[in-house]
Chains A and B, each alone.
Chain A
């Protein structure tokens, strides 16, 4: 038995060396952003293009999950800002499907390295997400990936595995010169348009879910541990913005049925930056929702108009 285990260990030593070597290979950003194509309407490819290929600067960036993607008409805000300010201001919607502060951090980090945004509007929800974003390990650099061992990143091990996968696929890409990053046509803005209207039963179901969720109470220590991962990355985002002289604003985008007038961590966000709270007339109008969690075009127009007023008072250029 001992000899058997010894031989297995010896056999796998080169493999472990190979894995370590994989982490030393810097993965091209183009590859990693395109690796996750096929989900979220290929938004990662679009974001790559906007950061690394598109020559236009980014003055205002909206970062968040699909809620941001469906609520912020970046094209409309840009047009109105330019009209009213008479300047050439560029606005982008980086809302990427599913919640997770780590991926927002990685994308903003890449953005700050290539553009000079003056305002970053960060989406906040009723509560902070508890887990790492599933796409984070594909986009994160080796340092960011290994440093994500923060109490308590529930997905650390699976993230490392995904990190190995993407790096290995990159090596395969180099070896075979695989043509999986073929040029694509990109729309100029990141807003996800929809004219769909939500069913009343769906809104009702969401209200019930929230009633139950808010009625249940969690041990404060567990809650603190659970939120630590997201808070850690949110603070990193804020610090990154400060280093780049970029103002942080938080935008509260609640679900249709939560009925929470402000986020549960309101005071925490307040300590990091100003919070924009949407008027209830937008949130409580059923015609503004495409499903229980996302606005449709009607909701997005109203939200964008409301935010536009907030941005007009900021000095962008």
Chain B
């Protein structure tokens, strides 16, 4: 059930009405509604996925209790290791097993041709990386005595499975989310309307920007040889905006949907392409994941203390790359970001220039490098990556005809061309206005007719420019 489908909105409408009707009598039963609807939402893809999420939730609920009750250091550590083993084990089997087998086979294949290990024929459960990290942080935080476990299995299971953020985050922390489930929900008009505004903007970003740009990007990436270097470079930059609109659009819908149930989720994106450094970029892009890696990987390794600062950064980024997918291209993407991050730290210490100049040049450099690095992220394999880079550096790099045909054909703009030329610039301007706030805060002091007219325009833009039929699924669902 995708957020941009009619079935989701029917589901949301029913859940919303049921939740507030039942919560009026009992907050406990309201939570039951949320848990059941979350399982319905998740089971919609494949009911078998529910088995994994229930195993993961039950493991961490009980282990969390046991860690908290135990005073014995060794026992606490052992329990934490069991939790990590179960969660990472599930993730490994379902997401990385085949990747590692293939990688080892390729490595062995360099020396011998007689290695044929069988891989597993399994499907990747939607959003497994997200809820695994969320539930894992719960036991780690209890182990570190940062939080106390909840005594309510219902609350904990709802925390893990809460449908707005179940399949693609934001990856929430127990300390923030569980208390919200434990208190009696109170309907707030400003919160609910801001939720609707975020849903509207999220749909715009997904259906108009991401899905239309994806048509251009997919055409180029599917047959890079039909295009020239500049075509691939442009497509890569467009992919940067596609993935941003896709994922931040998803996050907006998730946050907006949660607000309808009086739940506040963390902001996941703060217009990251306006960042003036890599450091700044990673404070604005997929914030819930980057802070997760900071707290549970980077800092436990020693963080910025000691002599291994650079190593810690690099490992964190490599693991972050691997988290995105079982493919060497994701690891390379993470590694490149790690290297840029380290180089930036070193260079910025040496350069002493005017703050404004530094900020502008930093913005331009970050924007170009971040977007070019999407080439690694979007490439399907190393061979594909080689093919793409070969095209970029090919001799006829100045010819853009093939690429332009995707935008303008037979004397008319294509559907995607219309969006790119007329809607995309307006989108960038709106994003500029939003800045580090959210869409819900935009025009908050304007009179109602202005606000409503603006929302109608966005709504009509979705209808007229969006991909309404057979919209591709959200990119981050695969992670």
| A residues in contact (CB < 8 Å) with B | 1, 3-4, 7-8, 11, 14-15, 161, 165, 168, 172, 175-179, 182
Contacts and interface: CB of A to CB of B under 8 A. Distances in A.
Contact of B20 (A1, A161, A165, A176): A1
Nearest to B21: A1
Interface string B464-475: 100011000000
Given A3-B189, A7-B193, A14 B412 contact: no
Nearest to A179: B412
Contacts of A165: 468-469
Contact of A179 (B410, B463, B469): B410
B418 A176 contact: yes
Contacts of B469: 165
Nearest to B455: A11
A163 to B, nearest CB: 14
Contacts of A11: 452, 455
A172 B189 contact: no
A168 B463 contact: yes
A173 B412 CA distance: 12
Given A4-B187, A7-B193, 15 more contacts: A1-B20, A1-B187, A3-B189, A4-B192, A8-B196, A11-B452, A11-B455, A15-B459, A161-B6, A165-B468, A168-B463, A168-B468, A176-B418, A177-B412, A178-B415
A4 B189 contact: yes
Contacts of A172: 464
Contacts of B6: 161
15 contacts: A3-B189, A4-B187, A11-B452, A11-B455, A14-B456, A15-B459, A165-B469, A168-B463, A168-B468, A172-B464, A175-B464, A176-B418, A178-B412, A178-B415, A182-B410
Contacts of A7: 193
Contacts of B189: 1, 3-4
Interface string B410-422: 1010010010000
Contacts of B192: 4
Which of the listed residues A15, A175, A177 has the most CB atoms from chain B within 10 Å of its own CB? A15
Q: State the majority secondary structure of interface residues on A.
A: helix
Contacts of B20: 1
Interface in B424-465: 452, 455-456, 459, 463-464
Contacts of B193: 4, 7
A165 B468 CA distance: 9
The 5 closest A-B pairs by CB, nearest first: A1-B187, A179-B412, A4-B192, A4-B189, A179-B410
Contacts of B468: 165, 168
A182 B414 CA distance: 14
Contacts of A177: 412
Nearest to B189: A4
Nearest to B192: A4
Contacts of A161: 6
Contacts of A4: 187, 189, 192-193
Nearest to B13: A8
A159 to B, nearest CB: 14
Contacts of A176: 418
Contacts of A179: 410, 412
Contacts of A8: 196
Nearest to A7: B193
A179 to B, nearest CB: 5
Contacts of B463: 168
Which of the listed residues A4, A8, A168, A176 has the most CB atoms from chain B within 10 Å of its own CB? A4
A48 B338 CA distance: 59
A7 B193 CA distance: 9
B211 to A, nearest CB: 15
A58 to B, nearest CB: 32
A151 B182 CA distance: 48
